Amino acid sequence: MASQRVIVVGAGIVGIASALQLRLAGCEVTLIDRGEPAMETSYGNAGAFAVSDVIPLAEPGVLRKVPGWMLDPLGPLALRWRYLPTLAPWLARFVAASRPRKVAELTQALAVLLNRVNDDYAPLIERAGLNHMWRRHGALTLYRDEAEFDAAQAAWDDKHRHGVTWRKAVNGEVRQLEPALRDEWRCAVKVPAWSHVDDPYTFSRGLFDAFIREGGRFVRDEAREVALLQGKTQGVDTVNSGRLAGDAVVIACGIWSDRFTRQLRYRVPLESERGYHVTLPKAGVALHHFIQCASESFVILPMGSGGLRLAGTVELAHRDAPPDWRRAHILIDKARQIVGDVDTTDMSVWMGNRPSVPDTVPIIGPAPGVDGLYFATGHGHLGLTLAATTGALLADMIRPRPGDFDVSPYRINRF
């Protein structure tokens, strides 16, 4: 089969992993970014391969908690009220996605992707020589007591039905798994298949370096629009490098993908669920597992350097609105409730734009009616987790291989 020239626009983790998968599948691949690779949302995420997150965000349990969360401006979910009129259509779709039948359908679509994450990542990580930073120790989701866990048990049972293996630990067993936790956390759920990387930026750069080593090309430029002729993709028109010719184009621009969905006149509801992190390089707390706090909706990543990253919460606001750094700082107080005192020497804060669609399921696949154009966006909270799988699916679509994977749940024209 003749080698195909593929242009991947956007060198976040989704674009990088897709470019590498396509290169390994034999395509001639050019990756474009207006900045350095992995410097946007993929820079500061929490580093988790969150394979148990099969239930979409819009589920009735979450919706019930929303009013309480909204009363606290520093709580797990905040909304910039001035942005509400713009956000309203997205929110309406979010609520529509919470109907039980819809939740069941979306859960199935997510589970199919999440169940193959480790298999899709393993060869990329091996090829990139990054095994040393892939920590396959599992995650612990913490509950103060069994009553708090009981309220979440139905969701865990549902996850189990969708292929997630987990087990509950109580009291001394929790302490045995993670001695640094404070005593009031008496119950935890361990998901053994969950894994994390020491630092998502270093990891993403490692995959990027592997892409270059394998013969991929990187162009630092801004893509203006997809070049089209009679319904067929010709390549990408850039601001400084003219037209980059290609037989296929993949749009992987995260929250900025709307420029291209608008060009093609798709009505894709893509909004930013902004999230914050605090990195504590000298935290002085040794953790083995990735830690999730269910009630506060934030996580703790044990970083390779011996530090900790605290990350999470959702802020619904325009992607360019100024950050509210109080939302990052509050994570330190929340972490102290879990692991006791932490050293904040040399701490840094960061904010990123999760590219989110209201039904949580990413958009992966061809643009109907345009030959050679593909989208890989809308990964929301799961961009790092699903990047290798997204790339593997794109490679199967662009270099067609026999298979029976149903890509219809991820199509762009479902909205």
Q: Pick one of 6, 29, 31, 46: the residue that binds ligand FAD (CB under 6 A).
A: 46
Of 22-30, 77-85, 248-256, 333-341, the segment contacting ligand FAD by CB under 6 A is 248-256
The answer to the question of residue 118 lying near ligand FAD (CB under 6 A) is: no
E strand or H helix that includes residue 197: strand 195-197
Contact letters for ligand FAD, residues 185-224 (x by CB under 6 A): -------------------------------------xx-
The answer to the question of residue 11 lying near ligand FAD (CB under 6 A) is: yes
CB closer to ligand FAD, 45 vs 233: 45
Strand locations in 230-378 (E): 232-238, 243-245, 248-251, 271-280, 290-293, 298-302, 308-316, 348-356, 363-366, 373-377
How far lies 41's CA from each of 45, 163, 209, 305, 330, in Å? 7, 29, 19, 21, 20
| Cα gap 190→322, rounded to integer Å | 37
Of 73-81, 143-151, 330-338, 349-357, the segment contacting ligand FAD by CB under 6 A is 349-357
CB closer to ligand FAD, 35 vs 340: 35
> Any bridge partners for residue 302, and if so which?
308
The answer to the question of residue 275 lying near ligand FAD (CB under 6 A) is: yes
How far lies 371's CA from each of 67, 214, 226, 326, in Å? 45, 27, 12, 46
- 85, burial (CB in 10 Å: exposed 0-12, middle 13-18, buried 19+): exposed
The answer to the question of residue 26 lying near ligand FAD (CB under 6 A) is: no
The answer to the question of residue 106 lying near ligand FAD (CB under 6 A) is: no
Binders of ligand FAD among residues 310 to 329 (CB under 6 A) are 311-312
The answer to the question of residue 130 lying near ligand FAD (CB under 6 A) is: no
Token pair recorded at residue 374: 């593909």
What does R_g of the chain's alpha carbons equal in angstroms? 21
Q: Pick one of 7, 13, 62, 285: the residue that binds ligand FAD (CB under 6 A).
A: 13
CB closer to ligand FAD, 186 vs 379: 379
To ligand FAD, the closest distance from the beta carbon of 93 in angstroms equals 19
Q: Pick one of 48, 130, 139, 181: the residue that binds ligand FAD (CB under 6 A).
A: 48
DSSP of 292-321: EETTTTEEEEE-TTS-EEEEEEEEES-TTS
3-state DSSP assignment of residue 111: helix
- Residues within the interface to ligand FAD (CB under 6 A): 9-15, 32-35, 40-42, 45-48, 50, 222-223, 252-254, 256, 259, 275-277, 311-312, 352, 354-355, 377, 379-385
